[in-house]
Amino acid sequence: MKTQKTLIFAVLTILLAACAPAAGEMHVIEPWARATPAGSTAAAYFQLHNSTGTSDALIGVSSTVARAVEIHENISMQTMQAEGSHDMGHDMSGHAVEEAMGHGNDVMTMRPVERIEIPNNEMAVLEPGGYHIMLIDLQTDLVAGESFEMVLHFENTEDITVMVMVRD
């Protein structure tokens, strides 16, 4: 009986060590991008969990797979018009076309943002229809099942290199 308890305790300890975010770190969770051919524009997504102890912000991303990399947000045309913004960002190519099929007669568009805030002990979520990383003019095919490197730049935390999984 004692042996069993010890074993269960050992297993639990290993599980907790694997799941619990270590203190003082920025965690990048499940980075992925949709399979996209070279020459077009792809989007990449992930979640950030800030347990660094201070608020931080994602301020840039770089990758050799694309000619340019930008941080974008999707917003509705109505919101953009209400704000009086004329910054339309890039053309509605690639994944944006699907997302242009908006709710009712409102159409989604997107625009570059300079930063995504990640308050201490909170998550920032990049997902279809929201914030995303725009990989502009892919220099190589993004093939499902393969992965590529992306480097995330933060205001406070040092650069983090992640492997982005390509999915269909």
Q: How far is CA 1 from the centre of its chain?
A: 47
Q: Give the whole-angstrom CA distance, residue 159 versus residue 153.
A: 5
Least Å from the CB of residue 57 to Cu ion: 19
Q: Give the whole-angstrom CA distance, residue 34 versus residue 135.
A: 11
Both tokens of residue 60?
């840039």
Closest to Cu ion by CB, 27 vs 136, is: 136
Least Å from the CB of residue 132 to Cu ion: 6
Least Å from the CB of residue 131 to Cu ion: 9
Closest to Cu ion by CB, 26 vs 110, is: 110
Q: Give the whole-angstrom CA distance, residue 75 versus residue 26.
A: 27
- Part of the chain binding Cu ion (CB under 5 A), chosen from 18-26, 101-109, 126-134, 153-161: 126-134
Among residues 23, 31, 18, 19, the alpha carbon closest in space to that of 160 is found at 31
Burial of 103 (0-12, 13-18, 19+ CB in 10 A): exposed
Interface with Cu ion in residues 92-111 (CB under 5 A): 110
Task: Sketch the per residue contact string, 47 through 86, with Cu ion: x for CB under 5 A, - otherwise.
Answer: -------------------------x--------------
Closest to Cu ion by CB, 28 vs 135, is: 135
Among 42, 134, 142, 164, binds Cu ion (CB under 5 A): 134
Least Å from the CB of residue 28 to Cu ion: 19
Q: What is the CA radius of gyration of the chain?
A: 19
Q: Using CB under 5 A as the criterion, which residues of the chain lie in contact with Cu ion when the complex forms?
A: 72, 110, 134
